[in-house]
Amino acid sequence: MKTKVYSEGIITRLTQYLKFLVQLKETGKRTVTSNEISQYTKINSAEVRRDLIYFGLKGKRGVGFNISDLISAFNKILGYSEKVNIALVGAGNLGKAILNYRMLDKFGFKIENVFDNDANVINKIISGRQVRDINEIHDVVNKKGINIAILAVPEESAQSVADILVISGIKVIINYTSVPVKVPKNVNVQTNDPIEKLFHTLYYLSNTVYKSYN
């Protein structure tokens, strides 16, 4: 059975809904209305309602939608069901900031492997992770089945490191540099907001890479 592939517009909206719902759930709230989702995401309320109806998500009149049910539904659509292991390349100031970005953990995105080519930082512990030599990345990526990598290196190194990631088997690169990197057509490059883009990558992976193992 062929998996339905949704448009970029729908996936972008779903990631925004999901981001809001996860944060809202942490406040202890159990239900939410389409108007509340609209107000936070700045997406037209009619568009929000159309999306919810399209995916068969129903709320209770006067109460709204169950937040946990919406989160589960959106996770399933986006291909997210468990923690996602991500490799980070670059242990400089930007890399450290990414490691300390608590929102990643809240959404189940785990950066357990950090790589760099600077002898001064290799083997050091940064935010609880040991920095490994970039030359080890191929073995680690293959051993742990990592598909996603964050690129947080100096601009002059962006393309060469992207080449290493591609050779190592990375399928999605979150590019935090200002340099547009060139990659083969079977590798996806994302930029901008990390949470939204990581959910984009999950949807991409669930409809390309992961399908090949089913």
Q: Give residue 116's Cα distance to chain centre.
A: 21
CA gap 89, 134 in Å, rounded: 8
Residue 17 CB-density burial (10 A; 0-12 exposed, 13-18 middle, 19+ buried): buried
Residue 187: φ, ψ to 5°? -115, 130
CA gap 205, 77 in Å, rounded: 12
Is there a contact between 142 and 119 (Cβ–Cβ < 8 Å)? no
pLDDT mean across residues, the chain = 88
Which CATH architecture fits 8-77? Orthogonal Bundle (1.10)
Per residue of the chain (214 residues), what is the pLDDT tens digit? 445 778 888 988 999 999 999 899 989 999 999 999 999 999 999 999 999 999 999 999 889 999 999 999 998 888 776 678 899 999 999 899 899 887 787 777 889 899 999 999 999 999 999 999 999 999 999 999 999 999 999 999 999 999 999 999 999 999 998 888 999 999 999 876 566 667 777 777 777 655 544 4
Beta strands across the sheet bearing 188-190: 125-126, 129-133, 109-116, 84-89, 148-151, 172-175, 188-190
Q: What's the fold here for domain 84-213?
A: Rossmann fold (3.40.50)
Residue ranges per structural domain of the chain:
8-77, 84-213
Q: What pLDDT is stored for residue 55 in this prediction?
A: 94
